[in-house]
Amino acid sequence: MNTIKHTTEFEIAQPIEALFPLFSPEGEKWWVPGWDYVNIMGTTDLSEDYIFLTQSHDHASTQAIWLVKRYDPAAYLVQYYKVEPEDKVGIVTVRCITQAPDRTQVQVSYEYIALADKGRHFIESFTAEAYQAFIAEWETLLQRYFASQG
């Protein structure tokens, strides 16, 4: 198997304007323990074609090159390519949808395409259950972050 894609969603009791900015390289610093990135663009203003690097976050076994594929803040949508040379390419999509003024649905998709055996081995282990547990941690971390702000 060379590709796999999983999608799920959860709700957070926060306004969309407070939640959506957290799904950026700079925003993730606020709620993901140990998250950091190498800013090679010289700005923290996210835009399409923005590029940054990470060391070992988010299923990466090596340094990853991230490229913003789509960025539509008016639609609360961001999509990234995550390239791990000689391993795999990921397409990460996050869309936020207002459910109420103080409640937001977060839809998250991860698609991986293997580039080599290492990537194929990862894809074989990236089950729906593993993905659900991974995104459940997002929900927990986001709730913890907002609780600490209040």
Of 35 and 59, the one with more pLDDT: 35
Mean pLDDT (whole number) for 118-137: 94
- Picking from 149, 118, 54, 124, the residue whose alpha carbon sits closest to that of residue 92 is 54
- The predicted model scores a pTM of 0.93
Q: How far is CA 3 from CA 89, 92, 111, 124, in A?
A: 9, 13, 7, 9
How much is the mean pLDDT over the chain?
A: 94
Q: Could you give the CA distance from residue 102 to residue 5 in angstroms, rounded to a whole number?
A: 30
With 70 as the cut, is the pLDDT of residue 145 above it? yes
Domains detected in the chain: 3-149 (3.30.530.20)
Q: Could you give the CA distance from residue 62 to residue 50 in angstroms, rounded to a whole number?
A: 20
DSSP 7-31: EEEEEESS-HHHHGGGGSHHHHHHH
With 80 as the cut, is the pLDDT of residue 93 above it? yes
Residue type, 123: I
Token pair recorded at residue 16: 């969309």
CB-hemisphere CA count at 13 Å for 94?
Answer: 22
Strand order in the sheet with 88-100: 3-12, 103-114, 88-100, 77-84, 64-72, 51-54, 38-39
Question: What pLDDT, on a 0 to 100 scale, did the predictor assign at position 88?
Answer: 94
Burial (CB count <10 Å: 0-12, 13-18, 19+), residue 147: exposed
Tell me the per-residue pLDDT of 97-110, one tens digit each, with 9 for 90 and over: 999 999 999 999 99
